[in-house]
Structure 1
Amino acid sequence: MTTTHSSVDLTLRDISAGTTTGSSCSTELLDAPWDVDARDPGYGPGASMADPIPAAAPRQGEIPQEYRDASAEELDRRIRAAKAELGDRAVVLGHFYQRDEVIQYADHVGDSFQLATAATARTEAEAIIFCGVHFMAETADLLSGPDQAVILPNLAAGCSMADMADIDQVEECWEQLMEVYGGETPGVDGRMPVIPVTYMNSSADIKGFVGRHGGIVCTSSNASTVLEWAFERGQRVLFFPDQHLGRNTAKAMGISLDEMPMWNPGRPLGGNDEQTLHDAKVVLWHGFCSVHKRFTTAQIDTARAEHPGVRVIVHPECPMPVVDAADESGSTDYIRRAIEGAAEPTTFAIGTEINLVQRLAAQHPQHTIFCLDPVVCPCSTMYRIHPGYLAWALESLLDGEVINRISVGEDVAEPARAALERMLAAKPAPDSAAPASSVTPGPGSAPASSTAAER
């Protein structure tokens, strides 16, 4: 496939019109998000479209007709006018995986933790408009001031990976593990039987659970540092919701696959026997990212055959054989900085979300950059955010109305913040790809530094 622009939306339209070669995973990606919202519950077209969605997952109600009918040019005018009138009262955050048509309005661009951290630096903002997914907006609410409103433009922008570990399942898992391990009593070495570790890509409820049980949050860039922290305090780790990040990180630390049983929620002891759980070092939750699950070793083989000397970099949410076959693996921000740090023209094959890959290719024309997956299949839920929703959120603020506010109750927020604070205290060593990470400023914005990079 040959693309001439960074916009995945335009690429999909070119494929549909036959003006470029290639294929997509769903023709419904061309449908307006509000039409997708009106259908039966689901994550929407894209990588997560086959994932079952919880019955209680938030749904987006109908937005005013004027935003559905507006042309791209009218939405552009209205968004820019609203941002100018609101000034410092509102800040727009855009995740790396967001479509270009939204990213162009972001004051800061980054991964979810970088953006939540950037929000804490904007203390003058009354409203934080998070163009990402639900768990990211929750994290921003946890870390922002009590008088700041966090807005998710489309409530249907969830995350299937985060939904794969709900609080009831995790509580049941913990009860069963406590029966096997004899409760939350330190052993003779002073370490607890098990320490819970949750990936940033999880709900506030899960972060709160971890905080209450002496656990910690991790990102994809500091997962090994966090696991080391956990092993200093516990004999084992319960890692959720992403099995692949847990497995890849633990394997790199020298833990054998035999010591990493999978916990399948809904099965007694997660489908294991007691001896297996006693012998475990890391109990992996049966969860995954549907975007990164699409990448395969066959795709890497093809890239190497067609592009001798190609540098293959994948995200650690990819399956273990893919990470093993790649030249490097690292967080979204690691990938971005690796490309920025390449002094000579290089061919990169990247295993992460297509919106970021195409944007990097457009930003670095001296390199050849392409996505390992030849099928255009963006993150289903990131793609639910559209300029029409952003215009609605901004103009509602001008009218004195806060729509789609994401708020975490203090009973959950207090222990969740404790788990996040433990993560902040567990500093990873700088990786070797490039200088320390930072949030990328959006158009006309000053950079805001971040202490950790993740998805």
Structure 2
Amino acid sequence: MPSVNNTIQLITREQAEQQGTHLIGKPGRAQESCDDDLAKGPWEFDLAEALAGTPGYGPGASNEDAAPAATPRQGQLPQEYKDASDEELTSRILAAKAELGDRVVVMGHFYQRDEVVRFADFLGDSFQLANAAKARSEAEAIVFCGVHFMAETADMLSGAHQSVILPNLAAGCSMADMADVPSVEACWAELEAFYGTEPDADGRVPVIPVTYMNSSAALKAFCGERGGIVCTSSNAATVLEWAYERGQRVLFFPDQHLGRNTAKAMGIPLEEMPLWNPRQPLGGNSEDVMRNAKVVLWQGFCSVHKRFTTAQIDQARADFPGVRVIVHPECPMEVVDAADESGSTDYILKAVAAAPDGTTFAIGTEINMVNRLAAQYPQHTIFCLDPVICPCSTMYRIHPGYLAWVLEGLVRGEVLNQITVPEATAVHARVALERMLAAKPRSAKERPERQAAAGAPGA
């Protein structure tokens, strides 16, 4: 099966139908890419952004995603790496890794292109990789093939003797950028003015801040300083349980969809989950709505998961009766409701691995992961719900050329693109991360207590 990158190259050369490149989207259907510029080298966009003086997220990004002025930009990749063939880059990467040995560990996120993942020592989601980095204390350098917030987390959880490297500094996250410290601080000030700061008779404070892992280190520190916590897509329910033991309501940012889908599954009604628009007083909500709020949802989203629709699910069911539809909880609520299951990247992977041979899966998550699952489990029929090939634009900014560049820099004793979180920020962010690590799922017998704390129906 061709990689996502190779398929996009074929599409842009108008060869997809002749080559039979039908294996990423719905089987038996020719493909199209959401942006022909995805076929270009990422360094072309590094240069374009430098010339324009403005950062961006790269080809394939939503028009709604405007990168903040402070978004990191990547300097120019040396010409030798731009000109190198795939074979030469492979040879240079393998040679550098062999020379460095245990002094370096390469981390690859599930959403990375295959051409990068093949060199990873560990493959996983953001928190799995951060834990893997923490466990590799003998490595002097951790090369994190993911996005900026992931590299920040790895830096905070790794040892002081270790350097964390992001091969392309322009590999950011538009969702993470949708919540910034000034906006969240302004929201918090409004919430404190509205709800006060005194705990109730049970000792629960008015609001607990919860940030998704897909956020800056500064926002993790914001939560750590204010009694809050971090969550991932796999433990969001456990984290909300933790928060309701300590608070009357939750401020959840930056992804509204993960917050809404998780809280709804816990029994919290939609009318108690107002959406907070940071550009409007009280987030654009009435006082009555805010008084009844159990979860205040930040107005953020993932552009990749926002592409999935109920119409795509309907089409998959029409084309493949009995298809098993699994989507990521960053998808909109109506998509999660229409699917058979929803879960984190790790949940999706395990579901596919455990399924009986011959299962047909329609999966709603990033295309590189879906394509990789289809290649790894040929006994199943696996396709992406979205027939248009549109990888995560920022993950796609990392290319083997950048990986070869940073690894050969390490061979020379030069640390390129190091990600460092200031200790004043890291100390509070680690508090929020450690709270997450310490939070354990409740047993079935304990769940009614959780529902009572959250004020959910059925308490």
TM-score over 0.5 (shorter chain): yes
Cα distance between partner residues in 2 of 1:265 and 1:163: 13
- Cα deviation for residue 429 of structure 1 reads 6.6
- Cα deviation for residue 345 of structure 1 reads 1.2
Cα distance between partner residues in 1 of 2:200 and 2:247: 9
Partner of 2:301: 288
Percent of pairs with identical residues: 72
Partner of 2:407: 394
Q: Please, which of 18, 28, 38 is the counterpart of residue 29 of structure 1?
A: 38
Give the residue type in structure 2 aligned to 1:380.
S
Partner of 1:448: none
Q: Please, which of 5, 13, 18 is the counterpart of residue 14 of structure 2?
A: 18
**What is the correspondence of 1:358-437 to structure 2 with a 5 Å cutoff?**
358-428=371-441
Change (3 A) 1:316 1:404: same
Give the residue type in structure 2 aligned to 1:144.
S
Q: What are the superposed Cα offsets for residues 213-258 of structure 1, whole Å, 9 maximum, x if unpaired?
A: 0000001111111101100100000000000000000000010000
Q: What are the superposed Cα offsets for residues 15-45 of structure 1, whole Å, 9 maximum, x if unpaired?
A: 2233322111001001110001111321011
- Cα deviation for residue 426 of structure 1 reads 0.9
**What is the correspondence of 1:4-403 to structure 2 with a 5 Å cutoff?**
4-5=1-2, 7-20=3-16, 21-40=30-49, 41-48=55-62, 50-182=64-196, 184-403=197-416
Deviates most, 184-193 or 406-415: 184-193
Q: Which runs of 5+ in 2 are unaligned?
A: 17-29, 50-54, 445-459
Cα distance between partner residues in 2 of 1:49 and 1:94: 27
- Cα deviation for residue 46 of structure 1 reads 1.7
Cα distance between partner residues in 2 of 1:176 and 1:202: 21
SS in 2 for 1:98: coil
SS in 1 for 2:11: helix
Cα distance between partner residues in 1 of 2:174 and 2:83: 30
Q: Which aligned runs of 4 or more in structure 1 are off by greater than 4 angstroms?
A: none
Give the residue type in structure 1 aligned to 2:390.
C
Cα distance between partner residues in 1 of 2:34 and 2:418: 32
Q: What are the superposed Cα offsets for residues 318-365 of structure 1, whole Å, 9 maximum, x if unpaired?
A: 000000000000000100000000123100000000000000000000
- Cα deviation for residue 402 of structure 1 reads 0.5
Q: What are the superposed Cα offsets for residues 191-216 of structure 1, whole Å, 9 maximum, x if unpaired?
A: 00000000000000000000000000
Partner of 2:22: none
Cα distance between partner residues in 2 of 1:265 and 1:372: 32
Cα distance between partner residues in 2 of 1:49 and 1:151: 29
Cα distance between partner residues in 2 of 1:65 and 1:75: 13
- Cα deviation for residue 427 of structure 1 reads 2.2
Give the residue type in structure 1 aligned to 2:171.
A
SS in 2 for 1:405: coil
Change (3 A) 1:56 1:104: same
Asked whether the 8 Å contact 1:49–1:380 carries over to 2, the reply is: no
Cα distance between partner residues in 1 of 2:314 and 2:36: 28
Cα distance between partner residues in 1 of 2:48 and 2:256: 31
Q: What are the superposed Cα offsets for residues 166-191 of structure 1, whole Å, 9 maximum, x if unpaired?
A: 01110110001000011x32122210
Give the residue type in structure 2 aligned to 1:34.
W
Give the residue type in structure 2 aligned to 1:11.
T
Deviates most, 271-280 or 374-383: 271-280
Deviates most, 80-89 or 63-72: 63-72
Cα distance between partner residues in 2 of 1:284 and 1:111: 23
Asked whether the 8 Å contact 1:300–1:312 carries over to 2, the reply is: yes
Cα distance between partner residues in 2 of 1:109 and 1:164: 27
SS in 2 for 1:39: helix
Change (3 A) 1:366 1:29: same
Cα distance between partner residues in 1 of 2:350 and 2:443: 12
Cα distance between partner residues in 2 of 1:373 and 1:115: 27
Cα distance between partner residues in 2 of 1:163 and 1:245: 16
Cα distance between partner residues in 1 of 2:253 and 2:443: 24
Q: What are the superposed Cα offsets for residues 20-77 of structure 1, whole Å, 9 maximum, x if unpaired?
A: 2211100100111000111132101124454111001000011211111111111111
TM-score (norm 1): 0.92
Q: How many corresponding residue pairs?
A: 426
Say what the alpha-carbon RMSD is for the aligned residues.
1.2
Change (3 A) 1:72 1:430: farther
Q: Which has the higher contact order (CA 8 A, sep 6+)?
A: 1
Give the residue type in structure 2 aligned to 1:330.
G
- Cα deviation for residue 381 of structure 1 reads 0.2
Cα distance between partner residues in 1 of 2:441 and 2:216: 23
Change (3 A) 1:138 1:430: farther
Asked whether the 8 Å contact 1:48–1:379 carries over to 2, the reply is: no
- Cα deviation for residue 89 of structure 1 reads 0.3
Cα distance between partner residues in 2 of 1:215 and 1:372: 35
Cα distance between partner residues in 2 of 1:317 and 1:377: 16
- Cα deviation for residue 430 of structure 1 reads 10
